[in-house]
Amino acid sequence: MPDPRCITLAAADLPKAWYNLQADMPHRPPPPLHPATQQPLQAADLARIFPMNLIEQEMSTERWINIPEPVLEKLLICRPTPLRRALDFERALDCPVKIFYKDESVSPPGSHKFNTALAQAYYNREFGIKRLATETGAGQWGSSLAAACNFFGLELKVYMVRISFEQKPFRKMMMQTWGAQCVASPSEETQAGRDIRQRFPDTPGSLGIAISEAVEDALTHDHTRYALGSVLNHVLLHQSVIGLEAQKQMALAGLYPDLVIGCAGGGSNFAGISFPFVRDRIHGKNVRILAVEPAACPTLTRGPYRYDFGDLSGMTPLLAMHSLGHQFMPPSLHAGGLRYHGMAPLVSQLKRDDLIEATAIPQLECYAAGVLWARTEGFIPAPETTHALAAAVREAKQAKEEGREKTILLCYSGHGLLDLAGYDAYLSGKLTNQDLPQAEIDAAIAKCPAAPAPA
């Protein structure tokens, strides 16, 4: 019998191919549109931003895509990751639940972002690219790509959302240690950044702004391409190793989850843990799948489904997705990785088809769950991860009220050892919930492009 606290896989069990949910979806998302013509996007339209080998993955509907050997070799640094059972957390809740968590915090940068960072760095190198530009919110993506670029010999420039740059200086230091350059966004180094600083000198920044700067950087530097840590199809594809491993580990435990939970900002870790289980649900398995987002940035739960830009300046393709408006400025909550106005088109489509559910939770409730987790399980979770934990607490209490047992699987997307300023604010009573008035959403939506409604 496996250790009930930790179920591990051998190196030979590392998935050798990524799973592409598009092969099994009842409806695929409407195509991205060219930002100028609003016509369906062609592969050539993306060639100045991404290498063609990643563009092919973005547009692929093949069920399985083989993982290259050099990427497998680097994934073995931390994969397969452990599946742990939160026994002490369960006891503290005193509810009839079994809670398992896929521990993605064991990667060198401390989060799931490493999975796609390695793949993107490798494919760019193979295409002859010398330098990458990217954005980062909380810094987990930036530090992951910095580590990956170090392994595969690429230069990297990271535009880090200003509020996170100020709150989390050690993430910047991690990027620099791995050889990347990191600046606060909006910066003075791009026209997009200068324009925003002139209009909003005190802005905390946003992922939409940082994406605009990174895309502009890629378009104005030779041998440079842009890399994105969430939202796009190829990013979600690379994260499927999480759920594929978890399926094997749950089978070793002799259990199958009633509920799969992941926090959701742009959709990458949620897709990673859930998409293999969504496939099971499509084929008749009785499993609920829940995306959890901040109440202060409720994209799936309050954002309309429409075509919108992925960045503030309108340089990216128009994506069919749940969106709060590309000019929406999220509040300065500590879960910086979840402060994004849009949601991955694949995740948005699953929500439309009722294959997944979504909920939004205020940050005080999330931090309370994170502190309880730290005081029972010992590990300090990232603020983003606490959203999944808070949802697990709600589900556990509901199971107790209903008098039925429940097996929960969640993605522990990263540790919070570099996020202690948020915990300090919570423990000292300085943190508050941030309500989002409907008028702010309506105002941002009103600034969206007059694009056709997604079919």
In order, the DSSP letters of 375-429 are: HHT---B-HHHHHHHHHHHHHHHHHHHHT--EEEEEEE-BB-TT-HHHHHHHHTT
| Cβ–Cβ < 8 Å for 413, 112 | yes
Kindly give the residue spans of alpha helices, DSSP state H, lying in 64-156.
69-75, 87-93, 114-126, 140-152
Q: How far apart are CA 191 and CA 312, in angstroms?
A: 13
Of 254, 246, 233, 238, the C-alpha closest to 280 is: 246
Q: Which residues contact 346 (CB under 8 A, 6 or more apart)?
A: 21, 22, 25, 29, 233, 236, 267, 271, 275
> Beta-strand (E) ranges in 323-386?
357-361
pLDDT at 218: 94
Does residue 80 have a cis bond before it (omega within 30 degrees)? yes
pLDDT at 453: 86
pLDDT at 206: 86
Q: Which CATH number fits domain 69-110+234-442: 3.30.930.10, 3.40.50.1100, 3.40.50.11540, 3.30.1490.390?
A: 3.40.50.1100
Confidence of residue 136 (pLDDT cuts 50, 70, 90): very high
pLDDT at 332: 67
End-to-end CA distance of the chain, in Å? Answer: 50
The two three-digit tokens of residue 279, written as one number: 């496939």
Report pLDDT digits (tens) over 69-126: 999 999 999 999 999 999 999 999 999 999 999 999 999 999 999 999 999 999 999 9
pLDDT at 313: 77
Q: 251 burial class (0-12, 13-18, 19+ CB within 10 angstroms)? A: exposed
| Cβ–Cβ < 8 Å for 65, 18 | yes
| Cβ–Cβ < 8 Å for 212, 220 | no
pTM (2 d.p.): 0.95
